[in-house]
Chains A and B, each alone.
Chain A
Amino acid sequence: MGTQPLKERILIVGAPAFAEDLGGMFLEQGYPTAVLVWDGEPPFALSPDLEAEARSAALALEILPFPIESKQALIALLDERLPPEAPLLSLCLTVSATQVARWTRRPGRVVGFAALPPLTRETPIELAIPLTGDPTALKPAKAYLERIGLRIEVIRDAVGMALPRILCALINEAAFAVMEGIASPEDIDTAMKLGMNYPRGPLEWGDLLGLDLVVAILDALEAEHQNGAYRASPLLRQMVRAGRLGRKTGRGFYVWG
């Protein structure tokens, strides 16, 4: 009777569905995985689990899109507790990997990644190393994610990475069109699916991502570029204020049952 070689311990901390879905993929491949869920709302109530798990982790994934203060606190704590050689993958949708690296004492271990919820094995993952980072950190990070079956593309570090930028710009334009009353949300999504062969309508996609995340990404892009191209539609802001965030709250551009 043979024994399985022990696999490295993985630590995943962050937003509920996202962290759990990713954790499930590591568990399926037999990695001892700790998933600690935190939506980023203070108080920071993860210790002592987090501290214990961090000390024994070979790889940590931080998956908190916002708020940024919570993300920074979490990154600093992970950096402090993780073994020095453990790579730290950080979800970079609203900050650059370079910014995340600045919150650590070991920028060389930081790798930024972007993926859009809902996470499945088909979700493409973008990886980027910080400007101050270490290119050799890419290899283990990429290897872990490929071993759980994810598709990886390496890009240069920039706020919003690639797909979140394209998708949020599409959603924003569709939201402007709704705000201006040029067409109904249903007709806009139908038009983009039938006229452009898009796999989903942009507004349906916004509802799936969460409109709070869409606005957070657009705001981060606008703050970075300061050129007006990412100015979020006021309708999106109103919907976030109203709690109409999309599927997760039962209502966004559509009503979700």
Chain B
Amino acid sequence: MERVGIVGAGTMGRGIAYVAITHGAQVTLYDVAPGALESAAAQIEAWLREAMGKGRLDEAEAQRARERLRLSTALEDFAQAEVIIEAAPEDLALKQEIFRQLDRACPPDAILASNTSSLSITALGAVTRRPERVGGMHFFNPAPVMRLVEIVRGLATSEETLRALSDLARRWGKTPVLVKDTPGFIVNRVARPFYLEALRLVGESVADPSTVDRLVRALGFRMGPFELMDLIGLDVNLAVSESLYRAFFEEPRFRPHPLQRQMVQAGRLGRKTGRGWYEYP
């Protein structure tokens, strides 16, 4: 049984906490935003009930999972933790401050992992006195459902740390893949052309969005690039595109498309605003 600390009770933090407590880990979930912990606890309870309803957990297992979750507003509660997973907002300065504090509050042999999808693990490790025990553990949304975890090797991350994080992911029913600390890691980088090439096709009037989506679905993809952008949010997709483009020092393959920006300027962000490439009445 491992003792795990999770920083941030937002969408990802609470999802990871659920995965951990349903796979035997003792979790301390930390957040200081008002209402965040209560909201996370309610969501985790809803997931537990859903799992019981579907017969994936029985009452006794759900009860044991509940008892493994502890809510906290003080990092001192991580004094016994073996692994800490940080799932705070994607802001380098904020995360670096959290890692400085974690470095002081946690046992010296504890592993500090970040769930970041876009920031440098190397830059997080560098503000601690244990960069060899800092690595990435990138879960995908929704964490209780998605099997993939990217285990990220910072410049100073040790083999032992990588092995420990990979083993942890496997014990939690996930499939770890190993990736060096580079912009976008694997998924956010390799998926970029899926959107950008589709945007270029529409931008050049080769095909319209619905034609591209039909073609891509016919190839076996569950969703076409435009419906997927609508689901993710065009603002989020543009932000990832811009961040990768900057991170690769303006490599032409990653150049964002003006159509993306125009849609964001128009407030057509996708499903969440009722309109993106398609309308959602």
List, in ascending order, chain A residues with CB within 8 A of B215's CB. Answer: 124, 126, 153, 162-163
Taking a contact as CB atoms under 8 Å apart, the answer to whether B212 and A194 are in contact is no
Taking a contact as CB atoms under 8 Å apart, the answer to whether A151 and B187 are in contact is no
Is A6 interfacial (CB 8 A cutoff)?
no
Taking a contact as CB atoms under 8 Å apart, the answer to whether A190 and B190 are in contact is no
List, in ascending order, chain B residues with CB within 8 A of A199's CB. Answer: 219-222
Is B206 interfacial (CB 8 A cutoff)?
yes
Taking a contact as CB atoms under 8 Å apart, the answer to whether B216 and A163 are in contact is yes
Taking a contact as CB atoms under 8 Å apart, the answer to whether B218 and A124 are in contact is yes
Taking a contact as CB atoms under 8 Å apart, the answer to whether B186 and A228 are in contact is no
- Against B, the Cβ 8 Å flags (1 = close, 0 = not) of A154-196 are 0110100111011101101110110011111001101110111
Taking a contact as CB atoms under 8 Å apart, the answer to whether A174 and B197 are in contact is no
Is A229 interfacial (CB 8 A cutoff)?
yes
Count residues of chain B with CB under 8 A from any CB of chain A.
45
Is A256 interfacial (CB 8 A cutoff)?
no
Is A107 interfacial (CB 8 A cutoff)?
no
Given A155-B206, A166-B225, CB of A187 within 8 Å of CB of B201 = no
> In the assembly, what is the distance between CA of A151 and CA of B179, in Å?
38
Taking a contact as CB atoms under 8 Å apart, the answer to whether B186 and A191 are in contact is yes
Count residues of chain A with CB under 8 A from any CB of chain B.
45
Is A202 interfacial (CB 8 A cutoff)?
yes
Taking a contact as CB atoms under 8 Å apart, the answer to whether A190 and B148 are in contact is yes
Given A124-B218, A153-B207, CB of A194 within 8 Å of CB of B189 = no
> In the assembly, what is the distance between CA of A163 and CA of B186, in Å?
22
The answer, among A116, A153, A169, for a CB contact under 8 Å with B197, is A169
> In the assembly, what is the distance between CA of A88 and CA of B219, in Å?
25
List, in ascending order, chain B residues with CB within 8 A of A195's CB. Answer: 140, 146, 148, 150, 186-187, 191
Is A4 interfacial (CB 8 A cutoff)?
no
Taking a contact as CB atoms under 8 Å apart, the answer to whether B216 and A166 are in contact is yes
> In the assembly, what is the distance between CA of A158 and CA of B146, in Å?
37
In the complex, how many angstroms separate the beta carbon of A72 from the nearest chain B beta carbon? Answer: 23
Taking a contact as CB atoms under 8 Å apart, the answer to whether B186 and A192 are in contact is yes
Taking a contact as CB atoms under 8 Å apart, the answer to whether A187 and B178 are in contact is yes
List, in ascending order, chain A residues with CB within 8 A of B216's CB. Answer: 163, 166
Given A124-B219, A155-B206, CB of A194 within 8 Å of CB of B211 = no
Is B214 interfacial (CB 8 A cutoff)?
yes
> In the assembly, what is the distance between CA of A153 and CA of B213, in Å?
11
List, in ascending order, chain A residues with CB within 8 A of B211's CB. Answer: 153, 155, 162
Taking a contact as CB atoms under 8 Å apart, the answer to whether A156 and B207 are in contact is yes
List, in ascending order, chain B residues with CB within 8 A of A166's CB. Answer: 193-194, 197-198, 201, 212, 216, 225
Given A162-B212, A199-B221, CB of A187 within 8 Å of CB of B197 = no
Taking a contact as CB atoms under 8 Å apart, the answer to whether B197 and A165 are in contact is yes
List, in ascending order, chain A residues with CB within 8 A of B160's CB. Answer: none
List, in ascending order, chain B residues with CB within 8 A of A231's CB. Answer: 252-253
Taking a contact as CB atoms under 8 Å apart, the answer to whether B190 and A174 are in contact is yes
> In the assembly, what is the distance between CA of A200 and CA of B222, in Å?
11
List, in ascending order, chain A residues with CB within 8 A of B148's CB. Answer: 190-191, 194-195
> In the assembly, what is the distance between CA of A176 and CA of B197, in Å?
16
Taking a contact as CB atoms under 8 Å apart, the answer to whether A191 and B180 are in contact is no
Is B262 interfacial (CB 8 A cutoff)?
no
List, in ascending order, chain A residues with CB within 8 A of B198's CB. Answer: 166
> Closest residue to A176 on the B side, CB-wise?
B253
In the complex, how many angstroms separate the beta carbon of B72 from the nearest chain A beta carbon? Answer: 30
The answer, among B175, B180, B193, B204, for a CB contact under 8 Å with A194, is B175
The answer, among B182, B190, B252, for a CB contact under 8 Å with A192, is B190
Q: Told that A196-B187, A231-B253 touch, could you supply 13 new A-B pairs with CB distance under 8 A?
A: A122-B218, A156-B206, A162-B201, A163-B216, A172-B193, A173-B192, A182-B179, A182-B182, A183-B180, A183-B186, A190-B177, A192-B186, A196-B191
Supply 8 A–B pairs (Cβ within 8 Å), ascending by A: A158-B206, A170-B194, A180-B182, A183-B186, A195-B140, A195-B191, A228-B253, A229-B255
CB-based closest 3 A-B pairs: A199-B220, A228-B252, A169-B193
